[in-house]
Amino acid sequence: MTSVGEIKLALEQSCEFLRDAYRSVREAQTALDEAVDILLDASADHHESLVPAGFVAAGERFADELELIVGSLELVQRLAVEL
């Protein structure tokens, strides 16, 4: 049988993983934004954009992913408190 302490420890670890995931997604968002800016600048010298359409689509998904991570973190924290 699993103790409450073991469950709380697992929940704390989950929170750390979610915080790490949040930081990683934010870093990826920043890196993609920088890449897009560089490509936009380079596109000024070309007749068509150098920014791949996939970059734009990926950039639009960051907010949803961050919201999902935050919501999950809040749920895990709430469960840990309720134990």
Give the pLDDT confidence score for residue 19 in this predicted structure: 98
Share of the chain above pLDDT 70, in %: 99
Note the pLDDT of residue 2.
80
Write down the mean pLDDT value for the chain.
94
- Helix-, strand-, coil-residue percentages of the chain, each rounded to 5: 85, 0, 15
Q: Which is nearest to 4 in space by CA: 73, 82, 72?
A: 82
On the question of pLDDT at 20 being above 90, the answer is yes
Is 45 or 29 the better-scoring residue by pLDDT? Answer: 29
User: Which pTM was predicted?
Assistant: 0.85
